[in-house]
Amino acid sequence: MLLIGFYIAITAEAMTAALAAGRRNMDWFGVCLIACVTALGGGTMRDILLDHYPLVWVANPYVLLLVCGAALLTIPLARLVERLRWPFLLLDALGLVVFTVIGCNIGIEAGVHPIIVIVAGMVTGTAGGILRDVLCNDIPLIFQGELYASVSMIAGIVYYLGLTGGVQQDLMAILAMVLGFALRVLAIAFKWEMPKFVYDRNMRR
């Protein structure tokens, strides 16, 4: 079940990433690279930080083909993909919670401290988007007040606490994902935002 969610999520991430690349007039190779980094970068960064090898896409390179294929398919379908804004926001929210739960699972398998389990979930869920924004030369979107990383953190904490409390793993994964998904959708619908730290006096490093 997580695997199906994973494939849906990386496909959706690849398609929205391709649009971001298109808005910067990148060539087809750039479109594929931005899509791979966005869809697979979070898991890659988590695995590098935890020394968890081989990486997902090295062990199973067909995910690279899936991601590049989805990204290239987006080019002729750009207008359609844009019109499907809500479905893609929902798929993106699905991706966030699926990635988070997968990341937590890998942290648990690696036997790390609970805090790092949650961090592994958050890195998996959010680092892809951060890397995309760095390559596209933006200040990462995720820092601009949207409830995104916080949703990942909450889903991860609930998931981990549930497992520790003895809930069966598949059930707990579903519960955490439903909760995180609902939270993310509500945050988009009602424009819930995180408080920002606005500070404009200059201070030399």
Considering only 14, 33, 102, 154, the residue that binds its own copies (CB under 8 A) is: 33
Q: Which two tokens stand for residue 192?
A: 């819930």
Which amino acid is it at 23? R
Q: According to CB under 8 A, which one of 98, 101, 136, 154 is a site residue for its own copies?
A: 136
Q: How far apart are CA 172 and CA 107, in angstroms?
A: 16
For its own copies, the binding residue among 1, 7, 109, 143 (CB under 8 A) is 143
Residues 144-203 that bind its own copies (CB under 8 A): 144-146, 149-150, 193-203
145 φ/ψ sector (left φ>0, alpha ψ -120 to 50, else beta):
left
- Closest CA relative to residue 196, chosen from 145, 146, 153: 145
Mapping DSSP to helix (H, G, I), strand (E, B) and coil, where does residue 178 land?
helix
- Please count the residues of this chain forming the interface with its own copies, following the rule CB under 8 A: 72
Measured from the CB atom, is 78 or 167 closer to its own copies?
78
Is 55 a binding residue for its own copies by CB under 8 A? The answer is yes
Residue 151 CB, shortest distance to its own copies, in Å, is 10
79 binds its own copies (CB under 8 A): yes
* Interface pick for its own copies out of 8, 73, 142, 185 (rule CB under 8 A): 142
The phi, psi pair for 146, rounded to 5°, reads: -65, 145
| Position among 3, 54, 80, 191 found at the interface with its own copies (CB under 8 A) | 54
Answer yes or no: are the C-beta atoms of 50 and 107 closer than 8 Å: yes
